[in-house]
C-alpha cells in the first residue's frame, strides 16, 4: 500500500486517481473518481475478466452523486497487463472474492468511508454475493444486475429463450446455429460462445443509449486522453474480449456448478436487483425466484423495461434507481 495515503481533509473535494495496489500479493489496478469525496462510495465489480475502468467517462454522470471505485480484477484489464504471468496464485472465485474484500478495505481507509455500495454485474455477481455474505460490515447495500443465480438452470433457460426468439424473427441462420449446438451444458468455451453471442446481444433500449452518446465518450474508451488518470502509463492495452475468454475458461467449471443459494439465503444488508426484463443470458425468471427466497433487512427487485443483460449501461435509468432506492442508505 505504499503511496496510498489517507486523504487529507484540506485537499480538493473531488477525486480522480488511478493506482496499482498490492492486493493478495499481486499488483492490481484501482481507480477512484468523483465530484465530492464525501459522497457515498460505489464499488463496481464487473464480469469475469472484464475491466470497466477504461470506460470511466461513460460513468461520469454517476460521479456527481457517488465516488465511483473501479477495480480491474485478476485476469482483467490493467491488472492482467501488469501481471502477464500471474500463475502462482490459482484463478478461483474464492481468490477473486478475497481480493475484492481487500480492495474494499483499502479504499474505505483511503476515503475515510465507513462502507461502500457494491454494484455487481454478470459474472461479478458471484463475487458480489460472496462479499455480501462474508463481509456485510463493509457494505451499505448490494446491487446486482445480470444476476447469476443457478448457472446451469439459467443457461438452459437462456438457450430456449434465444432459440425461440430466432424462430420468431425468422432468423434461419441463428436458429440453425443454435440448433446445431443443442441444449447445454456444452463441452467447451467455444460452444458457450455461440449461445452467448445471441444471449448478450444489446436490446433496442441498450442500443439507443450507445447511439445517443457523445462520440467522444466511446472514442475515449478506445483511446483514453493523454494523461488520463484512470489508465496506467506505459502498459499495453489488453484485448478485452480475448482476456475475458481466457479468464472465463479458468473459472468455467466453478461458474458452471455455482448456485447462489449455496452461499446462503440470509443476508444482513439490503439486497437490490436491477434486472433487465429481457435478459436472455442470466434469465430474469430465476432472479425473481431467488429474490423471493432470500431474507434481508430490505430486498427489492426492479425490472428495467427493455433492458437485457447490459442493463447497467442504461446509465441514466440505472443512476435514477441507485439514487431513488439505495443512496440514502449510505447517508
pTM of the model: 0.94
**Where do the domains of the chain lie?**
15-151+203-330
Residue that is written with C-alpha cell 443512496 in the block = 327
Helix count and strand count (H, E) for the chain = 11, 8
User: How do residues 191-235 score in pLDDT, each as one tens digit?
Assistant: 999 999 999 999 999 999 999 998 988 888 888 888 899 999 888
Cell numbers linked to 131: 462479499
The percent of residues above 70 in pLDDT, for the chain, comes to 96
Q: Which of 65, 68, 93 is nearest to 18 (CA)?
A: 68
Residue 39 to residue 66: CA distance in whole angstroms? 5
| Total residue length of the chain | 331
User: How do residues 79-126 score in pLDDT, each as one tens digit?
Assistant: 999 998 776 678 999 999 999 999 999 999 999 999 999 999 999 999
Q: How many Cβ atoms from other residues are within 10 Å of residue 212's Cβ?
A: 8
**E strand residue ranges, 67-184:** 67-71, 116-121, 139-145
Residue 4, pLDDT > 70, answer no
Residue 82 to residue 75: CA distance in whole angstroms? 10
The string of DSSP codes covering 203-239 is PHHHHHHHHTS-HHHHHHHHSPPTT-TTS-TT-PPP-
Band of pLDDT at residue 12, cut at 50, 70 and 90: low
Residue 65 to residue 324: CA distance in whole angstroms? 12
Q: Which CATH architecture has domain 15-151+203-330?
A: 3-Layer(aba) Sandwich (3.40)
Residue 322, pLDDT > 80, answer yes
Residue 1: predicted pLDDT: 37
Residue 9, pLDDT > 60, answer no
Band of pLDDT at residue 45, cut at 50, 70 and 90: very high
Residue 10, pLDDT > 80, answer no
User: How do residues 70-84 score in pLDDT, each as one tens digit?
Assistant: 999 999 999 999 998
User: How do residues 237-261 score in pLDDT, each as one tens digit?
Assistant: 778 888 889 999 999 999 999 999 9
Phi-psi region of 122 (alpha: psi -120 to 50; beta: other; left: phi over 0): left
Residue 169: predicted pLDDT: 96
Q: Which CA distances in Å does 306 have to 40, 120, 186, 258, 314?
A: 28, 20, 29, 27, 10
**Mean pLDDT (the chain, rounded):** 93
Residue 7, pLDDT > 60, answer no
User: How do residues 133-182 score in pLDDT, each as one tens digit?
Assistant: 999 999 999 999 999 999 999 999 999 999 999 999 999 999 999 999 99
Residue 18 to residue 92: CA distance in whole angstroms? 25
Amino acid at each position: 500500500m505504499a503511496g496510498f495515503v489517507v486523504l487529507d481533509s484540506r485537499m480538493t473535494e473531488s477525486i480522480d486517481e488511478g493506482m496499482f495496489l498490492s492486493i493478495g500479493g499481486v499488483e492490481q489496478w484501482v481507480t477512484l473518481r468523483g465530484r465530492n469525496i464525501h459522497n457515498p462510495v460505489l464499488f463496481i465489480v464487473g464480469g469475469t475478466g472484464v475491466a470497466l475502468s477504461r470506460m470511466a467517462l461513460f460513468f461520469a454522470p454517476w460521479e456527481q452523486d457517488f465516488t465511483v471505485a473501479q477495480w480491474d480484477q485478476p485476469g482483467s484489464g490493467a491488472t492482467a497487463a501488469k501481471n502477464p504471468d500471474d500463475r502462482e496464485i490459482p484463478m478461483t472465485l474464492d481468490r477473486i472474492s478475497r481480493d475484492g474484500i481487500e480492495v474494499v478495505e483499502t479504499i474505505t481507509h483511503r476515503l475515510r468511508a465507513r462502507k461502500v455500495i457494491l454494484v455487481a454485474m454478470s459474472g461479478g455477481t458471484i463475487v458480489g454475493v460472496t462479499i455480501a455474505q462474508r463481509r456485510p460490515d463493509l457494505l451499505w447495500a448490494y446491487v446486482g444486475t445480470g444476476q447469476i443465480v443457478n448457472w446451469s438452470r439459467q443457461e438452459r433457460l437462456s438457450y430456449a429463450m434465444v432459440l425461440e426468439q430466432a424462430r420468431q424473427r425468422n432468423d434461419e441462420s441463428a436458429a440453425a446455429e443454435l440448433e446445431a449446438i443443442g441444449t447445454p451444458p456444452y463441452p467447451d468455451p467455444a460452444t458457450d460462445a455461440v449461445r452467448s453471442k445471441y444471449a448478450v446481444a444489446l436490446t433496442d433500449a441498450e442500443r439507443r443509449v450507445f447511439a445517443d452518446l457523445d462520440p467522444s465518450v466511446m472514442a475515449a474508451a478506445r483511446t483514453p486522453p493523454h494523461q488520463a488518470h484512470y489508465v496506467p502509463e506505459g502498459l499495453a492495452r489488453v484485448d478485452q474480449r480475448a482476456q475475458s475468454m481466457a479468464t472465463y475458461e479458468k473459472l468455467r467449471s466453478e461458474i458452471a456448478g455455482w448456485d447462489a443459494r449455496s452461499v446462503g439465503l440470509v443476508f444482513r444488508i439490503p439486497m437490490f436487483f436491477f434486472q433487465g426484463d429481457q435478459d436472455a443470458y442470466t434469465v430474469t425468471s430465476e432472479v425473481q425466484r431467488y429474490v423471493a427466497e432470500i431474507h434481508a433487512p430490505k430486498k427489492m427487485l426492479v425490472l428495467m423495461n427493455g433492458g437485457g443483460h447490459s442493463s447497467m449501461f442504461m446509465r441514466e435509468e440505472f443512476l435514477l434507481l441507485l439514487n431513488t432506492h439505495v443512496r440514502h442508505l449510505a447517508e
